[in-house]
């Protein structure tokens, strides 16, 4: 079973955020946008005056996760009507100019979007593939953001949606990527002993201060946070090397002592008397 890193968006209400595609040209981009919405927890997709709505092409690009977004997306003939329920509107543009008033990148504005989304409906507008959002479209916007790129870059609409929704999702989320279970002290001690024997067999350990040298090796390997599986790989490598060198591996450890029972001060004094 595939395990994916999961994050919980606790600092935003993503159900209050909608992606609005203004006059999209290609059905494939609508499908890809639905997939992006699904990946980052945005459930509302709105189309304004789309040129093409080929169901099979949209579903193919949306994949299984994005199809529910397509099934409930809303379609409007004009932008003004589409934006009526929203409290805050954000436009996107790749073109900068004195009339466009672009002051923010997605990363800069994402925390504010998250905070605002708790009690407000927010629309994020994306223009079509040829011309983007017109100045008239941008006149409906309370803020406008741009994605910094290289000078000759050209982002597809769905790519722009992914970048912006990713920044919002990251700002809203607490990632949960569990650390693996590390090897036990017993497993590590066996590994260190095998490493030491292997290095002794090739005369690699300095004879003047063996303890200090071994401690440095242990400190180095402990920073790697080795798992049981990784420890076994290292042990297997060393055993194979010793076998190839014709060396016999014998390990000796002190006998394990049973844990002593905890005794109270009162019991200790009685036994002493």
Q: What is the pLDDT of residues 177-190, one digit of tens each?
A: 777 889 999 899 89
Grouping H, G, I as helix, E, B as strand and the rest as coil, residue 132 is: strand
Long-range residue pairs from 94-103, CB within 8 A, at least 24 positions apart, any chain: 94/132, 94/146, 94/147, 94/149, 94/155, 95/132, 96/146, 99/135, 100/135, 100/138, 100/144, 101/144, 102/144, 102/145, 102/146, 103/143, 103/144
CA distance 103 to 7: 29
Which has more pLDDT, 247 or 160?
160
Grouping H, G, I as helix, E, B as strand and the rest as coil, residue 10 is: coil
pLDDT at res. 176: 72
Mean pLDDT within 229-234: 93
Q: What is the pLDDT of residues 19-36, one digit of tens each?
A: 999 999 999 999 999 999
Residue 8 in this model has a pLDDT that exceeds 90: no
Mean pLDDT within 100-111: 84
Q: How many CB atoms lie within 10 A of CB 235?
A: 18
Nearest to 115 by CA among 140, 93, 88: 88
Which has more pLDDT, 46 or 134?
46
Q: What is the pLDDT of residues 142-186, one digit of tens each?
A: 999 999 888 777 888 999 999 999 999 999 987 777 778 899 998
Which has more pLDDT, 96 or 159?
159
- Token readout for 230 is 């990784």
Q: How many CB atoms lie within 10 A of CB 104?
A: 15
Q: Are 165 and 36 in contact (CB under 8 A)?
A: yes
Q: Sorting pLDDT into bands at 50, 70 and 90, what band is 97?
A: low
CATH 3.40.1280.10 fits 14-172, yes or no: yes
Residue 111 in this model has a pLDDT that exceeds 90: yes
Q: Are 81 and 52 in contact (CB under 8 A)?
A: no
pLDDT at res. 251: 72
* Domain range summary for the chain, segments of one domain joined by +: 14-172, 185-245
pTM of the model: 0.69
Q: What is the pLDDT of residues 197-214, one digit of tens each?
A: 888 888 887 777 788 888
């Amino acid at each position: 079973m595939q395990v994916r890193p999961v994050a919980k968006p606790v600092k935003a209400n993503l159900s209050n955020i909608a992606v609005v595609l203004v006059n999209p040209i290609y059905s494939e981009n609508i499908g890809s946008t639905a997939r992006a919405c699904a990946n980052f927890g945005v459930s509302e997709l709105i189309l304004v005056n789309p040129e093409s709505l080929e169901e099979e092409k949209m579903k193919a690009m949306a994949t299984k996760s994005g199809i529910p977004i397509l099934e409930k997306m809303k379609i409007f003939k004009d932008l003004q009507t589409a934006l009526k329920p929203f409290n805050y509107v954000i436009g996107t543009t790749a073109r900068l100019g004195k009339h466009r008033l672009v002051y923010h990148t997605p990363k800069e504005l994402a925390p504010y979007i998250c905070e605002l989304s708790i009690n407000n409906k927010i629309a994020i507008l994306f223009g079509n593939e040829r011309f983007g959002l017109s100045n008239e479209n941008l006149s409906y916007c309370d803020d406008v953001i741009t994605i910094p790129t290289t000078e000759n870059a050209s982002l597809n609409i769905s790519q722009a949606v992914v970048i912006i929704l990713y920044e919002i999702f990251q700002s809203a989320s607490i990632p949960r990527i569990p650390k693996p279970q590390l090897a036990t002290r017993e497993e590590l001690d066996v590994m260190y002993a095998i490493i030491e024997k292997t290095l002794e067999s090739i005369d690699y350990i300095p004879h003047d201060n063996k303890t200090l040298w071994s401690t440095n090796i242990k400190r180095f390997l402990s920073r790697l946070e080795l798992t049981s599986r990784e420890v076994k790989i290292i042990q297997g490598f060393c055993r194979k090397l010793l076998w190839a060198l014709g060396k016999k591996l014998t390990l000796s450890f002190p006998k394990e002592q049973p844990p002593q029972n905890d005794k109270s001060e009162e019991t200790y004094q009685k036994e002493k008397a």
